[in-house]
Chain A
């Protein structure tokens, strides 16, 4: 599984300041693999897109692309406040 994450927005609104990460889950240590698979499971991401998203200023918007094997990539757009803190910590670790 390949996970691509880009972010935009925030206080500065500067694209270059935003994070851009690509991770090949299969290349990670076993424990990390499990955490990533659980957190970025497409059904879980789909569920998060349905969580309430209040009108909060200066938050980041994440675009998460998950590619599993030969399947078509699945793209999810999520506001920072839709992601649980544990998932944000995981993104920071990646």
Chain B
């Protein structure tokens, strides 16, 4: 019984027993039935809160990553090839749309379709060849994408099953089919299938940052770039022709990607002193991601070489081991430290430089 919460009868006892933060993890990680139940209970909780003048605060999030079942994917054996399926949305919202290029098909001559196909292959290759991961779920799931999603649509997203790319309106955005963007969206799929990070506040900003990191690594690896030769921009060239800006975000210098009369100034901070507290954008997930983005850039800059090698391995291992969907920046930084220790060894120069990178963005580990 849970009379202390004032639940009306009849009620589902889970609604009272299971705290909201746990329901949110179940909604994120559970099978279809469990996720539906958790979402339903979350809705009921929200309604109850609205009805009560005084509501019970949920317990604080678990601090111990061991609370949740691990979702890390072991390196796959015998992984081979992607299974790409590119669709044309024809300007409509229904997904996935009309299949226009399947795995092994010749190039279509349609730039959007071929970019989505080739980009998906590059990202698959990054995760497969460098980290031993067989597709986004680690089990060879098809890479489904839709180009020309909706009309003049200024967005690209991962919907839990597939990627979708708008064309942009030609004014603010001219395209979303750029490899760092494709890598970003596909990395959201990897994050989802690695235990997930709840998409708000610091865990949401980590979700965004990790997607940016693997988007940048996809691009740099495809170009064969050394760390010091890369521009560390996310979405270079996707802004409209009249926009004063080079990209959507800069990992090297957060807050400098654009400064425009229409868009304003790139709002990303690079240090915890400038962390933005807001209710918009799911608690600033696209804003505060600048902080862990910059920590990754600094680590790479100290290490040199190729970003997708040791730095990418550290971030990938940390993601697989994190096991905390509500992780804070501090907890993520600690996890990367564990990862670099496992990969390079305790007290190594790599570990020292990673600690320095986090310290420079205001996070002490």
Contact = CB atoms under 8 A, between A and B. Distances in A.
Contacts of B92: 85, 89
Interface string A65-94: 000000000000000110001101100110
Contacts of A56: 157-160, 199
Nearest to B156: A11
A93 B151 CA distance: 8
B172 A58 contact: no
B95 interface: yes
B249 to A, nearest CB: 9
Interface in B267-291: 280-282, 285-287
Interface residues of A, number: 30
A85 B287 contact: no
Contacts of A59: 155, 157, 159
Contact of B154 (A12, A81, A85, A93): A12
Interface in A32-79: 50, 52-60
A23 interface: no
B152 A55 contact: no
- Residue from A8, A54, A58, A88 whose CB has the most chain B CB atoms within 10 Å: A58
B43 interface: yes
B36 interface: yes
A57 B157 contact: yes
Give the bracket for the number of chain B residues in contact with chain A.
35 or more
B196 interface: yes
B25 to A, nearest CB: 10
B84 interface: no
Interface string A5-30: 00011111111111100000000000
B219 interface: no
Contacts, number: 101
Contact of B158 (A12, A57, A80, A92): A57
Contacts of B94: 85
Nearest to B281: A13
Given A11-B181, A52-B36, A58 B158 contact: yes
B285 A13 contact: yes
Nearest to A53: B39
Nearest to A13: B286
B184 interface: yes
A18 B264 CA distance: 13
- Residue from B92, B93, B160 whose CB has the most chain A CB atoms within 10 Å: B93
B44 to A, nearest CB: 10
Contact of B157 (A8, A10, A14, A93): A10
A62 to B, nearest CB: 12
Contacts of B159: 56, 59, 81
Nearest to A81: B159
Contacts of A55: 24, 27-28, 196, 198-199
B281 A8 contact: yes
13 contacts: A8-B281, A9-B280, A9-B281, A52-B35, A52-B39, A55-B27, A55-B196, A55-B199, A57-B211, A58-B156, A58-B185, A80-B157, A92-B151
Interface of A: 8-19, 50, 52-60, 80-81, 85-86, 88-89, 92-93
Given A11-B184, A12-B235, 16 more contacts: A11-B157, A11-B181, A11-B248, A12-B155, A13-B287, A16-B262, A17-B154, A52-B40, A56-B157, A57-B191, A58-B185, A59-B155, A85-B92, A85-B93, A85-B95, A88-B150
